[in-house]
Structure 1
Amino acid sequence: MKALVVNCTLKRSPDPSNTHALAEVVGHRLIELGCDVEYVRAVDLDIRPGVVSDAGDGDEWPAVHRKLLGAQILIVASPTWVGRPSSVAQRVLERMSALMSEQDHEGRPVAYNRVAGVVVTGNEDGAHHVISEITGALGDIGYTIPGQSWTYWHLGPGPGPDYLDDERGHEWAHRTGRTMAANLYRTAYALIAHPLDVPEQ
């Protein structure tokens, strides 16, 4: 089984990413469960605006698109900025919306029988809003969203330190992240064994 983590931090590599650090907790648990895990930092790529799978002219989204189709598990990881998902996360979701018009060899939307979850970090509140925004979009696209398929870290309302700068709250975020990984894995395994049927026309 393969898992893809799309990190929607605003920080380009090799700058440290708080969001990547928490996403790795989930990724490590997925590896323990037997998954291959790959990470993509979207801001490092030239992802053109649009709602198509290939915008041409140097667009680097098609490579991410291929990775999405090769993964049974997707994790979208985003920081919270002004209480909302990052602008990079919004760009990724807009490009992913093209999946709704693509079908597999049995006529199902290509996101069917794939599961998705969300990782959020931030030094301000708004994590639950970010989770609901991203999971809502992924559900529209066709992904299955298991119960408790998210984890987040922040220290409450108002600005504060970053995840990598403060150990407070890590135990809860890590425990929730490991549970998230298990729920994603088990649901993906169930869908492989008993896939969703072609939608009725």
Structure 2
Amino acid sequence: MRALVINCTLKPTPEPSNTEALAAVVVAELARRGATSDVVRAVDLQLTPGVESDMGGGDEWPAVHRKILESEILIIASPTWLGRPSSVAQRVLERMDAMLSETDDEGRPVAFNRVAGVVVTGNEDGAHHVISEINGALGDIGFTVPGQAWTYWHLGPGPGPDFLDDERGHDWSRSTGKAMAANLIGVAEALAARPLGAPPS
């Protein structure tokens, strides 16, 4: 089982990413359950605006697109800004729009039989809104989103410390992240055993 985490932080490498720190909890639990994960920090890449899988001219999305198709599990990790997903997360979802018209060798949408989840951090409220926006887009594209396939961390309304600066709430975020990983693995295994769109036996 392979997983891909697309970290949609606004911070380029090597700046510490609060979102990646929480996503690492999910990655560790996926590894404990036998899945290997790759993490991509989207802000480090040249992701040309558009809704095609390859916009040409140095566009680096095609390599990310290949990683998505090589994985059974996709996790979009985003900070909360102004109560919404980051601009980088929106760019990633716009690029994934092209997958709506892509099919596999059996004529199924390429996102079918893949599962997806969301990780959110932020020192302001709005995590559930961010989760619902991203999950809605992933469902539209064709991913299966299991129940409770998300985790988040924030300290309530208004400005405050970041995930890496404050231990409050970490226990809940970690336990929820572990449950998220278990649900992603369980549904991915079920889809592998009985794929969507497979001919009746």
Paired residue for 2:181? 181
Indicate the residue corresponding to 2:125 in structure 1. Answer: 125
Q: Secondary structure at the match of 1:129?
A: helix
Distance in 2 between the 1:63 and 1:80 partners? 26
**2:39 aligns to what?**
39
Instruction: Give 2:144's aligned residue.
Output: 144
| Shift, 1:159, TM fit | 1.1
2: CA distance, partners of 1:66 / 1:198: 23
* 1:79 paired residue number: 79
Deviation, 1:198, is 6.0
Deviations 1:122-171 (A, max 9, x none): 01100000000000000000000000000000011111100000000000
Mapped to 2, the partners of 1:198 and 1:28 lie a distance apart of 32
1:191 corresponds in structure 2 to 191
Distance 1:167 1:37 in 2: 25
After superposition, what is the alpha-carbon deviation per residue over 1:36-89, rounded to whole angstroms, capped at 9, x for unaligned?
A: 100000000000000000000000000000000000000000000000000000
Task: Answer whether contact 1:108 1:198 (CA < 8 A) is retained.
Answer: no
Q: Does 1:108 align with 2:108?
A: yes
> Percentage identity across aligned positions?
72
Give me the whole-angstrom Cα distance separating, in 1, the residues matched to 2:127 and 2:158.
12
Gaps of 5+ in 2: none
* Structure-1 separation of matches of 2:96 and 2:130: 17
Please state whether the residue corresponding to 1:68 is helix, strand or coil: helix
Single out whichever of 189-198 and 84-93 deviates more from structure 2: 189-198
CA displacement at 1:114 relative to structure 2:
0.2
1:172 corresponds to 2:168: no
Give the Cα separation in 1 of the matches to 2:151 and 2:188. Answer: 18
Give me the whole-angstrom Cα distance separating, in 1, the residues matched to 2:49 and 2:185: 31
AA aligned to 2:28 is: H
Superposition RMSD in Å: 0.9
| TM-score with structure 2 setting the length | 0.98
Deviation at 1:173, TM superposition (A): 0.1
- Per-residue Cα deviation, 1:85-143 (whole angstroms, up to 9, x for no partner): 00000000000010010000000000000000000000110000000000000000000
Structure 1 residues without counterparts, runs of 5 or longer = none
